[in-house]
Copies of this chain bind each other. A is one copy, B any other.
């Protein structure tokens, strides 16, 4: 069996910086492009910093054909600053983090009311808002508790291009159905794993991410929506590399590195459920439709020939462990 995808997009990607960027950018570039997250240290808050980061990514890609849809770390901004952002080449939208909610998000928003003017302007100007939607509550409740904020934003700014990033619950899928002016991304791992995989047997740090994997009924609802080709659910890997030493140490950092395995594993899953015909929409069509994107022409052919996933990827003095490290995936990219 084979499938050829047109211009697959990863709508949520972390590439980090420095040597880690050099290692992970090429490993994430099977896609035609990706929305690049801005939570560096310090976060990417200005068009100048964004363009400099984009240039570093371009250098790390070493000529690979891969569009960077760049984001800025959301901070309250005025009209002039928003115009400057919108006009900056490569700019895609703002990523909003509640303060301190995940890796390098300390400078995020602590009171949504402070964001009001900026959001009103973004709505008028058609600038997308991508949100890491978690409260500071109990870890299994954080996303569900945040849904009230999404509801508020979708109601108060009805024309805002609002995305619930990396949703993990059945409740979020229901909200997606309820509000036609909200879209969402979902990761590879949240279509597959539950908290059982992270902490039900032994503790598995390489599957630890934020938001944490939830209950079986949550995973099932997310998978169902993806397989059915929900028109406002898009693939966003949230591929989030950390050095091996930070994942396997006491106090493991949150993030699953899926860049190099995402497309083969998605093809395997969609094929196993007889839903291959909906994969194009999930990994590209829905995003193009929602955001009006016209990505570069790039086809990726996948076939049901196994891919052996390395135990880790090493280069530039860095080492990252991917999901399915040392295992085999039923599908692979035809190179």
Contact = CB atoms under 8 A, between A and B. Distances in A.
A138 B198 CA distance: 11
Contact of A249 (B140, B196, B215, B248): B248
Contacts of A198: 199
B250 A205 contact: yes
Interface in A177-212: 194-196, 198-200, 202-206, 208, 212
Contacts of A55: none
Interface stretch (A66-74, A120-128, A251-259, A268-276): A251-259
A143 to B, nearest CB: 13
A139 interface: yes
Contacts of A196: 138-139
Nearest to A252: B203
A252 B250 CA distance: 10
Given A215-B140, A248-B248, A248-B250, A203 B208 contact: yes
Contact of A215 (B138, B215, B253): B138
A208 B199 contact: yes
How extensive is the interface on chain A, given as a class? 20 to 34
Nearest to A200: B139
Contact of A202 (B199, B200, B216, B251): B251
A204 B253 CA distance: 10
> Which of A202, A249, A254 counts the most B-chain CB atoms under 10 A from its CB?
A202
A173 to B, nearest CB: 18
Given A139-B196, A194-B138, A253 B202 contact: yes
Given A203-B205, A203-B208, A248-B248, A195 B253 contact: no
Contact of A250 (B200, B206, B250): B206
Given A203-B203, A208-B203, A195 B248 contact: no
Contacts of A194: 138
A138 B202 contact: no
> Which of A140, A199, A252 counts the most B-chain CB atoms under 10 A from its CB?
A199
Given A250-B204, A250-B205, A199 B215 contact: no
Given A203-B203, A205-B203, A139 B195 contact: yes
A251 B204 contact: yes
Interface in A227-260: 248-254
B253 A139 contact: no
A250 to B, nearest CB: 5
27 contacts: A138-B194, A138-B195, A138-B196, A138-B200, A138-B215, A138-B216, A139-B195, A139-B200, A140-B140, A140-B195, A198-B199, A199-B199, A200-B212, A202-B252, A202-B253, A203-B205, A203-B208, A203-B251, A203-B252, A203-B254, A204-B250, A204-B251, A205-B205, A205-B250, A205-B252, A206-B250, A248-B249
Across the A-B interface, give the 5 residue pairs with the lowest CB-CB distance, nearest first: A203-B252, A202-B251, A139-B200, A203-B208, A139-B196
